[in-house]
Structure 1
Amino acid sequence: MINVRKLVPVVAGVLLSPLASAQDASDLAKQLANPIASLVSVPLQSNFDSNIGPGDDGDRYTLNVQPVIPFSLNEDWNLISRTILPVVDQSDIFPGAGSQSGLGDTVQSLFFSPVQPTANGWIWGAGPVFLLPTATDDLLGTEKWGLGPTAVALKQSGPWTVGGLANHIWSVAGDNDRDDVSQSFVQPFFTYTTAKAFSLTLTADSVYNWETKDWTIPVGVFAGQVFKLGRQIMQVGLGPRYYAESPDIGPEGWGARVNVVFLFPK
């Protein structure tokens, strides 16, 4: 007869097996804190927001599918592809709007980044960013094509990663009946990573809409842990977000984020 009490820790040990060393896990956690690390990853980022619309009656769940794929151009340069494809479920974002579910617009960024940091230890990358009108509902996207510049710079020292990512997108084509797009995205980030691959991140995914002159600034604190599930290396993280600033029709108050990242180190 199978002894269930003895079997449970054996199964748990197989499913939640450690990496080759704590240092390996910590190094992967630090790479994840770097948006342009040469590491293939597939983050699935869930965001929960509420109090949307003029009556604060709306709710929105957004699953951002965010594959990151690095390409080696030569011994000196990498090209990092970062894609954000939102899957959205929302309701009552304004009176009479009802509910919508489907894809939002895709944001595709390409960063040309030196393989080695600068003499002062800075890691940087820059390139184009594209807005693709992939939304499956009028209320989930802009119906505009857009492009602009993007850049990121950061420094890693000991357990700390400090830096920022920014882009600006202008609409260049699309439905003439829809509002033009001119918006800046600014994301400062501060991450502390322990020797056991636990990370704590403070960030603000800030957006300024130049057409409406409005800021949206959700400030978040997120905890994450790298571990191994069977043969798959992954990170799971979560934490609260608070909207320090948002337009009258935007989310307000508290929200939350849950992030699951699948890692594919070389």
Structure 2
Amino acid sequence: MFRKTIILIFLFVINNLFAQTEETTKSSSAEELAKQLANPVAALISVPFQNNFDFNVGPLDGFRYNLNVQPVIPISINEKWNMISRTIIPIITQSDVTEKGNNETGLGDIAQSIYFSPKEAKNGLVWGVGPVLLLPTATDDVLGLNKWAAGPNALLLKIKGQWTYGGLVNHMWSYAGNGNTDINATFFQPFLTYASKSGASITISSENTQSWDNDIFGGFIGAYYNKVTSFGKQMVQIGAGPKVYYGNNPFNPTWGIRANIILLFPK
């Protein structure tokens, strides 16, 4: 009942957002914003609210809802370089995951990425490098790893007409904390986006994590439809799509739904 209530409330909100859309956005600006959103190091301030509904989680077929608040803030360092701050703040509620009948809600571990990226894209190639940090901010032991971790972070993508494709990768090692499991893990995310001139876009993306110390691999592939539009003076992108999981992680869900609401602050 709890999970059904969350889903129905969210779908009601999404439906009303679409119904109230004001078609005042210029096609050219909507297209440009859709392309920038496909680029993780674009010089665009955005605040995504990424809603993840995951079903059949783990051996008990539990349910998990994960809201990731992900502010992206570009900072101009000089005429040639930007520094992009990308923070992921997870707010999690789950049921029947740790034990049948158990419910946990709270903040998860915050991930902080920094990219240093050239302002000029040569031949449509965009890249960025920097550190990634994991902060043990979970309010419940089962919602985080209770470890400090850090490592290198990089991305490479190509912009060609309406298409943007590439990937990002990072690796983290734990160096402090009281958690029982050390972190030695690689994350890899390839993606492909087609952005239309109307501001609509379709993205196919796969997110994968390999834990090397215990040989556990988990990932999913998702396909998402998104649309840049405006509500009054506020530019937003809204969209959703399904996710299908794979790998040998025992706590993988079977499938899920991702729905995004992204506040945009173009210069």
* Match status 1:84 vs 2:88: yes
Residue 237 (structure 1) aligns with: 239
Deviation at 1:45, TM superposition (A): 0.2
Cα deviations by residue, 1:90-141 (Å, 9 ceiling, x for unpaired): 11113357111010000000000001113x3210000000000110000000
Q: Report the Cα distance in structure 2 between the residues aligned to 1:149 and 1:31, rounded to whole angstroms.
A: 23
Alignment length (residue pairs): 250
Contact (CA 8 Å) 1:217, 1:245: kept in 2 or not?
yes
Residues 120-131 of structure 1 correspond to what in structure 2 (within 5 A)? 120-131=123-134
2:110 partner amino acid: T
Does the C-alpha gap of structure 1 residues 138 and 22 become closer, same or farther in structure 2, counting only changes over 3 Å? same
Contact (CA 8 Å) 1:216, 1:246: kept in 2 or not?
yes
Contact (CA 8 Å) 1:167, 1:186: kept in 2 or not?
yes
Contact (CA 8 Å) 1:43, 1:261: kept in 2 or not?
yes
Residue 100 (structure 1) aligns with: 104
Residue 33 (structure 1) aligns with: 38
Cα deviations by residue, 1:178-208 (Å, 9 ceiling, x for unpaired): 2111111100000001010100000001111
Cα deviations by residue, 1:2-58 (Å, 9 ceiling, x for unpaired): xxxxxxxxxx99961422x21111000000000000000000000011212223x21
Residue 7 (structure 1) aligns with: none
Q: Report the Cα distance in structure 2 between the residues aligned to 1:173 and 1:234, rounded to whole angstroms.
A: 39
Comparing 141-150 with 94-103, which one deviates more in the overlay?
A: 94-103
Contact (CA 8 Å) 1:66, 1:85: kept in 2 or not?
yes
Runs of 5+ unmatched residues, structure 1: 1-11
Q: Report the Cα distance in structure 2 between the residues aligned to 1:147 and 1:39, rounded to whole angstroms.
A: 25
Indicate which of 212, 215, 218 corresponds to 1:216.
218
Cα deviations by residue, 1:219-261 (Å, 9 ceiling, x for unpaired): 0000000001011000001000001324123212x21100000
Residues 27-176 of structure 1 correspond to what in structure 2 (within 5 A)? 27-55=32-60, 57-96=61-100, 98-118=102-122, 120-175=123-178
TM-score (norm 2): 0.90
Q: Report the Cα distance in structure 2 between the residues aligned to 1:249 and 1:99, rounded to whole angstroms.
A: 16
Residue 201 (structure 1) aligns with: 203
Helix, strand or coil: the match of 2:105? strand
Helix, strand or coil: the match of 2:241? strand
Runs of 5+ unmatched residues, structure 2: 1-17
Identity %: 48
Contact (CA 8 Å) 2:21, 2:229: kept in 1 or not?
no
Q: Report the Cα distance in structure 2 between the residues aligned to 1:98 and 1:68, rounded to whole angstroms.
A: 34
RMSD over equivalenced CA pairs, Å: 1.6
Q: Report the Cα distance in structure 2 between the residues aligned to 1:100 and 1:50, rounded to whole angstroms.
A: 15
Contact (CA 8 Å) 1:14, 1:230: kept in 2 or not?
no
Q: Report the Cα distance in structure 1 between the residues aligned to 2:52 and 2:33, rounded to whole angstroms.
A: 24
Residue 188 (structure 2) aligns with: 186
Runs of 4+ in 1 over 2 A off after TM superposition: 12-15, 94-97
Residue 263 (structure 1) aligns with: 264
Q: Report the Cα distance in structure 1 between the residues aligned to 2:207 and 2:86, rounded to whole angstroms.
A: 16
